């Protein structure tokens, strides 16, 4: 569990994307940023609700990226989503929904996205429900997310096969 492909789903703020890439690199992952923007399909749009259906979006994202030689494909999605979920995962793919983070400062948004990126990678690796002081304890909403540390505990690191030396 080491190679992560970072994809912007519609245009994402560059500084935000770079911050997540650096953060994951510091945490021992090998990170590549996909050079193109993945444009969401209008077929995932629910016109009566003014937003995208998250599972339909995830399906089209999965169809496009499933075959890529990465352990995790992490999409950062700056589009309106009809449900309040913060992220969605399927197989080795994850989408993080920026617009569902509350309207806070850029720094706070980045801090939350860092935690969500670690969490979704851990979830894909089957590390959910850790009882230690660890991001993998899980969260129901942004307020619980804010209380979690932005790191894995030693047990989870070992299971992910990453270490402080990278």
The minimum distance between CB 148 and Zn ion, in angstroms, equals 11
Which region among 39-47, 58-66, 73-81, 155-163 touches Zn ion (by CB under 5 A)?
A: 155-163
15 scored as a contact of Zn ion (CB under 5 A): no
Spatial strand order of the sheet with 72-77 comes to 30-38, 3-9, 72-77, 93-97, 87-90
133 scored as a contact of Zn ion (CB under 5 A): no
121 scored as a contact of Zn ion (CB under 5 A): no
88 scored as a contact of Zn ion (CB under 5 A): no
Q: What is the dihedral of CA 23, 88, 142, 147, to 10 degrees?
A: -60
134 scored as a contact of Zn ion (CB under 5 A): yes
148 scored as a contact of Zn ion (CB under 5 A): no
16 scored as a contact of Zn ion (CB under 5 A): no
Which region among 10-18, 39-47, 75-83, 148-156 touches Zn ion (by CB under 5 A)?
A: 148-156
The minimum distance between CB 128 and Zn ion, in angstroms, equals 10
Which CB atom, from 26 or from 154, has the smaller least distance to Zn ion?
154
Q: Which of 136, 145, 160, 162 binds Zn ion (CB under 5 A)?
A: 136
Contacts of 38 (CB under 8 A, 6+ apart): 7, 8, 9, 10, 61, 64, 65, 75
Phi-psi region for residue 81, left (φ > 0), alpha (ψ -120 to 50) or beta? beta
Q: How far is CA 16 from CA 6, 19, 29, 64, 121, in A?
A: 12, 5, 18, 23, 18
Q: Which residues bind Zn ion (CB under 5 A)?
A: 130, 132, 134, 136, 153, 156
């Amino acid at each position: 569990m080491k190679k992560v492909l970072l994809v912007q789903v519609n245009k994402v703020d560059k500084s935000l994307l770079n911050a997540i890439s650096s953060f994951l690199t510091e945490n021992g992952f090998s990170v590549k940023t996909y050079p193109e923007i993945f444009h969401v399909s209008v077929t995932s749009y629910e016109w009566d609700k003014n937003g995208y259906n998250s599972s339909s979006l995830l399906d089209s994202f999965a169809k496009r990226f499933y075959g890529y030689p990465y352990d995790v494909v992490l999409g950062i999605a700056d589009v309106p989503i009809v449900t309040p979920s913060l992220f969605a995962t399927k197989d080795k793919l994850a989408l993080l929904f920026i617009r569902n983070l509350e309207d806070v400062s850029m720094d706070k948004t980045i801090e939350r996205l860092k935690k969500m990126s670690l969490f979704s990678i851990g979830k894909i690796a089957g590390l959910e429900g850790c009882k230690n002081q660890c991001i993998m304890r899980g969260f129901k909403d942004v307020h619980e997310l804010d209380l979690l540390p932005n790191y894995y505990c030693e047990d989870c690191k070992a299971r992910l096969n990453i270490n402080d030396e990278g």
